[in-house]
Amino acid sequence: MSENIAVLFANEAFYLAFAGGDFEAMDELWSREGLVTCIHPGWNLLSGREDVMESWVAILANPNATRIKYRNAAATLFGELALVTCYEELEQGFLIATNIFIREDGTWKMIHHQAGASPVPPEEEEPDFPDTMQ
């Protein structure tokens, strides 16, 4: 599996945990080694694991928030760090996100997330994964 696909899988795991309201999975996929930071739409910066995970407890308890889907994910790798951009589709409209992952013990872990309001995204040019993997 290429690292690019591994990062896109980590990004997918984030949205699966989000949509599933699965706090344990969400907690698992955030870095435990680096300084994690998070910018939810309309929130101030959250810095540090405790504040970031507290925010997910609140967000995942909201049934509207967990109706999230993502699309147009694109990953760029920089050695042990990877940047993913994607759109988020919610009932009330679209958001656009910057998701940053760091490789810890061979696994891509989230270290930063920012989501903010977005216009309707363009059509996806191609699927994130080959057909056989869907």
Q: Where do contacts with a copy of itself occur on this chain (CB under 8 A)? A: 34-35, 37, 39, 41-45, 47, 72, 74, 76, 78-81, 83, 85, 87, 96, 98, 100, 102, 111-112, 114-119, 121-122
Query: Of 125 and 131, which has the nearer Cβ to a copy of itself?
Result: 125
In the block, residue with structure tokens 């290429």 = 2
* Min CB(46)–a copy of itself separation in Å: 10
Query: Of 23 and 114, which has the nearer Cβ to a copy of itself?
Result: 114
Query: Of 43 and 129, which has the nearer Cβ to a copy of itself?
Result: 43
* Min CB(117)–a copy of itself separation in Å: 6
* Min CB(114)–a copy of itself separation in Å: 5
CA distance 43 to 31: 21
Query: Of 35 and 133, which has the nearer Cβ to a copy of itself?
Result: 35
What secondary structure does DSSP assign to 4-36, as a single string? HHHHHHHHHHHHHHHHTT-HHHHHHHB-SSS--
* Min CB(26)–a copy of itself separation in Å: 20
CA distance 8 to 109: 11
8-state DSSP, 89: E
User: Are the C-beta atoms of residues 109 and 29 closer than 8 Å to each other?
Assistant: yes
Nearest to 41 by CA among 25, 57, 59, 53: 59
